Structure 1
């Protein structure tokens, strides 16, 4: 029997995804087998194929969901009246959203190389949509004189790298609170583009 007694798609599918997320983040995609994921969930390896065609599809689904949820949360933010306010909001949002999902963030950045070319293209398209949002803020700020920067695309990539880096070192019981970190990074983001 492939399916464990008492399991169902409604409960097992999220457990498969959660186990895969944790194992990929801890050991890396290449080092994790479907058998390990099954053992973590408590089902036989063959049962996993009820919930996903293969390990690549599982990785893609995790990354795709992370990016689409990120874009939806970004789109739900209230519109701010100025580029300065928009950049401040973006920085705080980016840090807050990503601090709540460190494993998904790690996988989204470190396991891109593990995707098939077709899956890579799909995830890159979503990443570009997110980057384009920030780049539009920076370009608008530069055009109105609120920001001073020579290349909006490079500034976009640098800011995203800086903001995402918080997930590598932040600890809830550390010296700075989450709000402190968001405020300090928002201030650094604004200063990096010459905002007053």
Structure 2
């Protein structure tokens, strides 16, 4: 991605990414023009190309940054010895992380279809690394006799879909707190893997 240097670049670049994030999440990637992003930031449309080659690169950068940060944040989490405790940690981490980033989550799942093949492959590689972390926990739990699941890979995909789905309905103004949601989803996760 093209990058400008200097004080304006340090301000304008993040503003462009923030504007694109919110516009893509609100209207969808296909419906948003570079002109709209520029207007949101308060610059001429041509100025955007000093910060990004095109709209596709901007979308990919947003999605890649989200996945990289997700992986880094998960890597910084504690690693208990027990697979059951690690599964609980993963469940609670996933919910907290995704509830804090509804726009990023929406774009990361809904706009995959708009990525060019090379960008899609790069994103899928990052997503697979995150999924593999959960799959390893499940496989270790099965090997230890703690979980009763037939296929850790399928269970991984199902659990991630369930956990990520919380970001589509949860509202801080609703009847459940974030802590309540963590408890409910941990209980569902524990039951889903057959843990006592």
Q: Would you call these one fold, judging by a TM-score over 0.5?
A: yes
Tell me how far 1:186 sits from its aligned partner: 1.0
List gaps (5 residues or longer) in structure 1.
1-6
SS in structure 1 of the partner of residue 23 of structure 2: helix
Is residue 71 of structure 2 the alignment partner of residue 71 of structure 1? yes
Structure 1 runs of 4+ with >6 Å offset: none
Partner SS state of residue 15, structure 1:
helix
Deviation at 1:173, TM superposition (A): 1.1
Residue matched to 2:3: none
Deviations 1:54-75 (A, max 9, x none): 0000000000000000000000
- 2:4 maps to none
2:51 matches 1:48: no
Match of 1:135 in 2: 135
- In 2, are the aligned partners of 1:135 and 1:156 still within 8 Å (CA)? yes
Distance 1:126 1:80 in 2: 24
Deviation per residue, 1:57-100 (Å, 9 max, x gap): 00000000000000000000011110110010000000000000
SS in 2 for 1:150: coil
Using the TM superposition, give the Cα deviation of residue 24 of structure 1 relative to its aligned residue in structure 2, in angstroms. Answer: 0.4
User: Does structure 2 conserve the Cα–Cα contact (< 8 Å) formed by 1:34 and 1:45?
Assistant: yes
Alignment of 1:32-181 (within 5 A): 32-181=32-181
Distance in structure 2 (CA, Å) of the matches to 1:117 and 1:170 = 32
Q: Distance in 1 between matches of 2:9 and 2:187?
A: 45
Alpha-carbon shift at residue 9 of structure 1 (Å): 0.5
RMSD: 0.7
Aligned residues: 190
Question: For the Cα contact (< 8 Å) 1:91–1:185, is it kept in 2?
Answer: yes
Indicate conservation of the 8 Å contact 1:88/1:187, yes or no.
Answer: no
The superposition leaves residues 75-130 of structure 1 with CA deviations (integer Å, 9 ceiling, x where unpaired) of 00011110110010000000000000000000000000100100000000000000
1:4 aligned partner: none
Deviations, residues 114-172 of structure 1 (Å, cap 9, x unaligned): 00100000000000000000000000000110000001010000000000000000000
**Correspondence list, 1:22-41, <5 A:** 22-41=22-41
Q: Paired residue for 1:184?
A: 184
Deviation by residue 1:31-69 (Cα, 9 ceiling, x = unmatched): 100000000000000000011110000000000000000
